[in-house]
Amino acid sequence: MKKRKLGLALSVVLAAGTLLGACGNKEEDTKGKSGDGEKDNFKVAMVTDIGGIDDKSFNQSSWEGLQAFGKENGLKEGPDGFTYLQSKSDADYTTNLQKLARQDFNLVFGIGYALAESLTEVADSKKDTNFAIVDSVVEKDNVASVNFKEDQGSFLVGVIAGLSTKSNKIGFVGGVDGELINKFEAGFIAGVKTVNKTADVNVQYAASFGDAAKGQAIANSMYGSGIDIIYHAAGGTGNGVFSAAKELKKKDPESNVWVIGVDRDQVEEGKVTVDGKDYNVTLTSMVKRVDVAVQDLSKQALEGKFPGGKIIQYGIEENAIMVSDSKDNVSSEALKAVDEYTAKIKSGDQKVPSTRAELKEMGF
């Protein structure tokens, strides 16, 4: 099947009024297909990866988007409205997707590329159910593939890191080494090196998105080597990076240790109190609006406009990739540079690599 890319204009607030005007053929049985514009008949659900619903990152953002959609459209949380199933291991993916399809949900999201194989299998056997895969591509007529330009946002927080480091030593902690997280890595290193060619970026992977202890161990080693800023793209594993930074801050409030969050604004994860004084180790975050994408796609499905078989790209241009609003710890110089490079990326004047090969071609 030929891949088709669809650019979507997004807004954080999806107008409920547009849903009321949605129309469909009520005589046709649309249950499990693309929705018929009737809120009472529409059900949507999601399956998490092993990071879980409270990973303070990717899965949590997705669930927040589904909750916002449900609230906006008067749906109840549960089997007759909107819900989620949490996967504790890879073995749960197929089972959870099948369970939701059997319960006649109109749209079922697979959150994360790790679910792609299972979703492909289930989509083949449940052709009357619409599915959406996030961060991967599944070429099926009843599957929409939702992807993001994480390299763009990673480049921008790399600019901040490159202009903020005092030691000229910066760290990157990834979850599982692969094509997706390599986009974060390549974009970040390019951003750092574009504004600070002498900075060194140490890259390590934890081989998991759900191992906070491993994330903390890697971060402790990095901070111990003189690294002062760590950008994580590791889901729940990244919680350990925050733990490491906060523990160091408790031992020495003057220590210069920072974390750059991912997927959602992680300023709350950086809060720490020492001797009655409040600190925050979150420098900034690369925000990936999975919540907005989930809302947007659910809205389309409800209106009978589900983009089955299409690849949907969300980036800076669609206001789905950005630097977080929490910038109190970022210098005015770095903020000005972010604005400049955002404009350059939009205009095409700034190349952003999405692979290690492209990063090498740029001379980094």
Strand 321-323 and strand 282-288: the pairing is: antiparallel
Among the listed ranges 30-39, 76-85, 100-109, 251-260, which one has the minimum average pLDDT value? 30-39
Give yes or no for a contact between 220 and 183, defined as CB atoms under 8 angstroms apart.
Answer: no
Please report the pLDDT score of residue 31 as a whole number: 39
SS3 for 241-276 is HHHHHHHHHHHCCCCCCEEEEEECCCHHHHEEEECC
The rounded Cα 315 to chain-centroid distance in angstroms is 11
Q: What is the pLDDT of residue 318?
A: 86
Specify the DSSP class assigned to residue 77: B
User: How far does Cα 134 stand from its chain's mean position?
Assistant: 9
Distance CA 125, CA 102 (A): 11
d(CA 119, CA 140): 10
The pair of structure tokens assigned to 265 is 């604004």
pLDDT value at 20 more than 90:
no
Calpha distance 144→309 (Å, rounded): 5
For 107-123, write each residue's pLDDT tens digit.
999 999 999 999 999 99
Best CA proximity match to 303, nearest among 70, 35, 69: 35
Q: Rounded CA gap, 66 and 26, in Å?
A: 25
Nearest to 285 by CA among 154, 174, 176: 154
Confidence of residue 35 (pLDDT cuts 50, 70, 90): low
Tell me how far apart the alpha carbons of residues 202 and 258 are, in angstroms, rounded to a whole number.
Answer: 15
pLDDT in tens, 213-237: 999 999 999 999 999 999 999 988 9
pLDDT band at 265 (very low <50, low <70, confident <90, very high): very high
What does the pLDDT average to over 124-128?
A: 95
For tokens 């906070």, the residue is: 212
Q: Is the pLDDT at 19 greater than 70, yes or no?
A: no
Picking from 347, 292, 337, the residue whose alpha carbon sits closest to that of residue 314 is: 292
In the three-class reduction of DSSP (H, G, I as helix; E, B as strand; rest coil), residue 111 is classed as strand
Is pLDDT of 262 > 80?
Answer: yes
Q: In the predicted model, what is the mean pLDDT of the chain?
A: 90
What residues contact residue 185 under an 8 Å CB cut-off, 6+ apart?
154, 172, 174, 203, 233, 356
The length of the chain in residues reads: 364
What DSSP assignment string belongs to 318-339? GT-EEE-S--TTS-HHHHHHHH
Tens of pLDDT, residues 59-106: 999 999 999 999 999 999 999 999 999 999 999 999 999 999 999 999
**311-363 pLDDT, tens digit each:** 999 999 988 999 999 989 999 999 999 999 999 999 999 999 999 999 999 99
Please report which confidence band the pLDDT of residue 13 belongs to, taking 50, 70 and 90 as the band edges.
very low
The answer to whether the beta carbons of residues 274 and 249 sit under 8 Å apart is: yes
Domains of the chain: 5-148+289-318 (3.40.50.2300), 150-287+331-361 (3.40.50.2300)
Cα-trace Rg, the chain: 21
In angstroms, the CA 158 to CA 193 distance is 8
Instruction: Tell me the C-alpha distance between 362 and 364, whole Å.
Output: 6
| Mean pLDDT calculated for residue range 50-57 | 83
User: Which amino acid would we find at residue 256?
Assistant: N
Residue 24: what pLDDT?
A: 40
Alpha helix segments (H runs only) across the chain: 17-20, 58-72, 92-102, 116-125, 150-164, 179-195, 212-224, 238-251, 290-302, 332-347, 356-361
> How many CB atoms within 10 Å of residue 9?
8
Residue with tokens 């979507």: 8
pLDDT value, residue 40? 63
User: How confident is residue 7, by pLDDT bands cut at 50, 70 and 90?
Assistant: very low
pTM for the model stands at 0.80
| Cα–Cα distance measured from residue 215 to residue 244, given in angstroms and rounded to the nearest whole number | 8
